Structure 1
């Protein structure tokens, strides 16, 4: 497996902080800050849409 390049943490207001990452194979990853060894992975398109929704506040109830 390729090394994951993690972005800076994204923290919802009063909620957990998440990190998003990608690898050189085009996979996307999401993990709770500090628990990057326990990540979720899916297609780049699926996770990019989820990231856009989280950052837009559409999925704040999940945070």
Structure 2
């Protein structure tokens, strides 16, 4: 199992709480807080861009 270091949850309005994490190899992960065993993985830059765009209001939810 990959050793993922999860950051504190980012919670928007309502019940939307997500966590970002990284592993020792530099891969990035995103998961719903509380369900980290089911996650998406991509490059750190791709996930960072997605989160910054969401925070900037370019999207109101994750698909």
Structure number having the greater strand percentage? 2
Distance in 1 (CA, whole Å) between partners of 2:23 and 2:55 is: 21
Query: Matched residue pairs, number?
Result: 63
The residue aligned with 2:45 is 45
The residue aligned with 2:61 is 61
TM-score, normalised relative to structure 2: 0.84
**Deviant stretches of 4+, over 6 Å:** none
The structure showing larger relative contact order (alpha-carbon pairs under 8 Å, at least 6 residues apart) is: 1
Gaps of 5+ in 2: none
User: Cα RMSD between the aligned structures?
Assistant: 1.7
TM-score, normalised relative to structure 1: 0.84
